[in-house]
């Protein structure tokens, strides 16, 4: 009998408490995402050189246990013009987020600080193939993550730019003002653009 009454008291006390439920799809009532949260992989932006860190070396593509990635490498046009020290640059990159198992192996094997697990985690889409993220999407995801976490490079060759924070903030400001978030210029793309402009067939470098 005493136990029964105590049970009633327990349920009454629970009822007086506030529910902790976060009503998930409602953007205003979600729980905050922790900084160390591991969502889908994203490509990072090198603010020192205004291009992706990714060189298209394919090591992540090879190590991926679910083969959810594809990548194309090309020569870096900005290396030719002397603006960058990066000889090769990523031309196309695609991650099928529906296949990704968020294991983080791509992050571990990357030699260039190029890929990190972002905070993106939502898979609900209206289209069968809508979960394929292309290079631009991945770079925007990476930039967002970099801004949110204040990430700075960890590989020796990338450390050393003292202005990286200021550059990032300037980039964020420009993005807010409506600038194109990411622009990757590869040599192939440059050639194609030149060929298209002059109407000539793509040359072999001559």
Partner 1 sequence: MTALEVLYYVLGALGLFTFLSVTVMVLTYVERKFLARIQQRMGPMRVGPYGTLQPIADTIKLIMKEDILPSWADRPVYWLAPLVIFLPALAIWVTLPVGEGLVLRNLDLGLLYIVAVSVLSVLGLVMAGWGSANKYAMLGGLRAAGQLISYEIPFIMAVLGVAMLSQSLDLTRIVNDQASIANIIIQPAGLFIFLMAGLAELGRTPFDIHHAESEVVGGPFVEYSGAHWAIIQLAEYVNMFAIAALVVLLFLGGWRWPSMPFEGTGHDALSLVWFLAKTYGIVLVIFWIRGTYPRLRIDQLMAFGWKVLVPASFLNIVLTGIVLFYGWHWSVLTVMSSLTLAAIGYIIYRRPGTDVRQDTVRVVSARDAGLKPASQAAKPLSGEPIA
- Whether residue 141 contacts residue 133, with contact meaning beta carbons closer than 8 Å, is answered with yes
**How many beta carbons lie within 10 A of that of residue 54, not counting itself?**
29
Work out how close the CB of 32 gets to partner 1 at its nearest, in angstroms, rounded to a whole number. 19
**How many beta carbons lie within 10 A of that of residue 158, not counting itself?**
18
What span, in angstroms and rounded, lies between the C-alpha atoms of 106 and 96? Answer: 14
Question: Nearer Cβ to partner 1, position 12 or 197?
Answer: 12
Work out how close the CB of 8 gets to partner 1 at its nearest, in angstroms, rounded to a whole number. 5
Question: Nearer Cβ to partner 1, position 13 or 200?
Answer: 13
- Whether residue 70 contacts residue 99, with contact meaning beta carbons closer than 8 Å, is answered with no
Question: Nearer Cβ to partner 1, position 9 or 33?
Answer: 9
Sign of CA dihedral 84, 87, 91, 94: negative
Work out how close the CB of 34 gets to partner 1 at its nearest, in angstroms, rounded to a whole number. 22
Question: Burial of 190 by CB count in 10 Å (0-12 exposed, 13-18 middle, 19+ buried)?
Answer: middle
> Which position has the token pair 């210029």?
185
Question: Burial of 28 by CB count in 10 Å (0-12 exposed, 13-18 middle, 19+ buried)?
Answer: exposed
Question: Nearer Cβ to partner 1, position 4 or 206?
Answer: 4
Question: Nearer Cβ to partner 1, position 17 or 176?
Answer: 17
Work out how close the CB of 24 gets to partner 1 at its nearest, in angstroms, rounded to a whole number. 11
Q: Which residues of the shown chain bind partner 1 in the complex (CB under 8 A)?
A: 1-4, 7-8, 10-12, 14-15, 17, 19-21, 23
Work out how close the CB of 97 gets to partner 1 at its nearest, in angstroms, rounded to a whole number. 27
Work out how close the CB of 1 gets to partner 1 at its nearest, in angstroms, rounded to a whole number. 4
Question: Nearer Cβ to partner 1, position 1 or 177?
Answer: 1
Residue 17 to residues 8, 9, 13, 101, 123, Cα–Cα distance (Å): 15, 13, 7, 37, 33
Token pair, residue 24, equals 């998930």
């Amino acid at each position: 009998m005493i136990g029964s009454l105590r049970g009633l008291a327990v349920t009454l006390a629970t009822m007086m408490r506030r529910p902790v439920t976060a009503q998930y799809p409602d953007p205003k009532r979600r729980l905050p995402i922790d900084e160390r949260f591991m969502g889908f992989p994203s490509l990072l932006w090198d603010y020192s050189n205004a291009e992706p860190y990714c060189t298209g070396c394919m090591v992540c593509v090879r190590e991926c246990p679910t083969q959810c990635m594809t990548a194309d490498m090309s020569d870096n046009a900005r290396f030719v013009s002397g603006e960058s020290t990066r000889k090769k640059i990523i031309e196309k990159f695609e991650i099928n987020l529906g296949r990704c198992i968020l294991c983080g192996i791509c992050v571990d094997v990357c030699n260039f600080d190029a890929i990190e697990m972002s905070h993106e985690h939502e898979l609900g889409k209206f289209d069968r193939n809508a979960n394929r993220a292309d290079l631009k999407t991945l770079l925007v995801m990476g930039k967002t993550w970099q801004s949110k976490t204040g990430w700075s490079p960890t590989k020796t060759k990338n450390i050393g730019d003292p202005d990286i924070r200021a550059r990032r903030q300037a980039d964020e400001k420009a993005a807010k003002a409506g600038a194109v978030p990411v622009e990757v210029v590869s040599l192939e793309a440059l050639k194609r653009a030149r060929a298209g402009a002059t109407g000539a067939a793509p040359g072999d470098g001559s």
